[in-house]
């Protein structure tokens, strides 16, 4: 018996797809698999960003603790809290570098500086906006103030000023007042241009309403030199020709309307009068200047009889 024949090995199966090189068969990298520019930038600056992140976290911690401190002792520890904010802000580069002032026309700059109480390099976060606003609004010219922080180093100040309305004469002194009667200036009164003149105690508080009534009758307003308060109850109008118009208490509007009608119909204000008394509702009293005295007659010479 002969030797058995060696077993035949089956031939390997061959795929019908062509063979590819390993370099070609590797899956190409997709764009989303690559790190973005932002990620690369963050990786390079991670060391620089850590202090800022720590600073922001510290700000949050101080704010959280500050609420408790404020509730426990608002008078004693609030200042310490603000100082802590200010010191932290300085460490982060937040200090006052500029102050932008908006809306100022008449308020003196030195008063604004004193009210703000801030200098270049002071902590921006340690600056109390409410306290500064209250100090600004204590200035006579300032009606309202708004203060805003703009990081990293700016303070924006916006003022709403009181407007000069009239010159008030009282006890021989002259001051400028606004429509509410608040004194806004005591010197250099001529710099505000021509203003109405009001005279007497209480004239500062009620002059705006009377002035508005006169503006409805321009032919009367143009002849008024001053509005004079009498006994803190009623008004007289002092005219440029020297005459006084006595207005009734509480009925100024009707009296001014009637006076305008008399001027249009009879040219009353063009007459030489000392006073026009309108205090009685059913009667108009005109006071005329006294007549000049008559010249004495020359004596007739006597003739001698011969």
Please state which of the ranges 78-82, 130-134, 243-247 shows the lowest mean pLDDT.
78-82
Residue 270: pLDDT over 90: yes
Cβ contact 88:69 at 8 Å: no
Residue 17: pLDDT over 70: no
Strands 197-199 and 166-170: parallel
- Residues forming a β-bridge with 239: 224
- Residues forming a β-bridge with 100: 156
**What integer pLDDT is reported at residue 298 of this predicted model?**
63
Beta strand spans in the chain (E): 98-102, 142-150, 154-161, 166-170, 173-177, 183-185, 197-199, 224-230, 234-239, 244-246, 275-277, 285-287
- Residues forming a β-bridge with 246: 236, 277
Mean pLDDT of 271-287: 94
How many angstroms separate the CA atoms of 143 and 107, rounded?
11
- Give 152's contacts (C-beta < 8 A, 6+ positions apart): 93, 94, 97, 124
How many angstroms separate the CA atoms of 208 and 195, rounded?
12
For residue 99, the tally of other CB atoms under 10 A from its CB is 16
Token readout for 60 is 């949050």
How many angstroms separate the CA atoms of 151 and 163, rounded?
33
Cβ contact 126:118 at 8 Å: no
Cβ contact 272:242 at 8 Å: no
Instruction: Tell me the average pLDDT of the chain.
Output: 78
Q: 137 falls in which pLDDT band (50, 70, 90)? A: very high
Cβ contact 93:125 at 8 Å: no
Task: Give the residue carrying structure tokens 């180093």.
Answer: 153
How many angstroms separate the CA atoms of 103 and 48, rounded?
40
**What integer pLDDT is reported at residue 43 of this predicted model?**
61
Tens digit of pLDDT for each residue in 30-74? 555 566 665 665 566 554 444 444 444 444 544 444 444 344 554
Q: What percent of the chain clears pLDDT 90, i.e. is strictly above it?
A: 55
Token readout for 40 is 């690369």
Token readout for 243 is 């005459």
Provide Rg for the chain, Cα atoms. Answer: 45
How many angstroms separate the CA atoms of 79 and 97, rounded?
22
Mean pLDDT of 129-150: 95
Cβ-in-10-Å burial (0-12, 13-18, 19+) of 32 comes to exposed
Nearest to 271 by CA among 247, 239, 237, 248: 239
Cβ contact 78:131 at 8 Å: no
């Amino acid at each position: 018996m002969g030797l058995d024949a060696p077993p035949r090995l089956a031939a390997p199966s061959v795929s019908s797809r062509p063979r590819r090189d390993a370099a070609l068969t590797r899956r190409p990298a997709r764009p989303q698999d690559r790190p973005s520019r932002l990620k690369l930038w963050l990786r390079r600056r991670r060391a620089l960003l850590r202090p800022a992140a720590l600073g922001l976290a510290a700000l949050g911690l101080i704010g959280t603790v500050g609420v408790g401190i404020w509730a426990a002792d608002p008078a004693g520890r609030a200042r310490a809290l603000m100082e802590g904010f200010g010191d932290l802000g300085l460490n982060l580069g937040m200090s006052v570098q500029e102050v932008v002032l908006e809306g100022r026309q008449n308020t003196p700059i030195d008063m604004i500086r004193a009210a703000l109480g801030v200098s270049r390099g002071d902590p921006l976060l340690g600056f109390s906006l409410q306290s500064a606003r209250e100090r600004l609004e204590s200035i006579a010219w300032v009606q309202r103030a708004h203060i805003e922080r703009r990081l990293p180093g700016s303070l924006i100040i916006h003022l709403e000023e009181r407007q000069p309305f009239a010159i008030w004469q009282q006890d021989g002194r002259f001051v400028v007042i606004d429509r509410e009667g608040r004194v806004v200036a005591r010197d250099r009164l001529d710099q505000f241009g021509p203003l109405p003149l009001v005279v007497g105690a209480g004239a500062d508080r009620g002059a705006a309403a009377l002035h508005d009534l006169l503006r409805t009758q321009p032919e009367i307003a143009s002849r008024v030199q001053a509005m004079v308060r009498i006994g803190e109850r009623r008004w007289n109008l002092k005219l440029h020709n020297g005459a006084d118009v006595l207005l009734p208490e509480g009925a100024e509007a009707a009296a001014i309307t009637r006076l305008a009608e008399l001027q249009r119909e009879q040219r009353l204000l063009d007459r030489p009068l000392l006073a026009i008394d309108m205090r009685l509702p059913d009667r108009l009293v005109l006071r005329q200047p006294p007549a000049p005295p008559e010249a004495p007659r020359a004596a007739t010479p006597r003739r001698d009889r011969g």
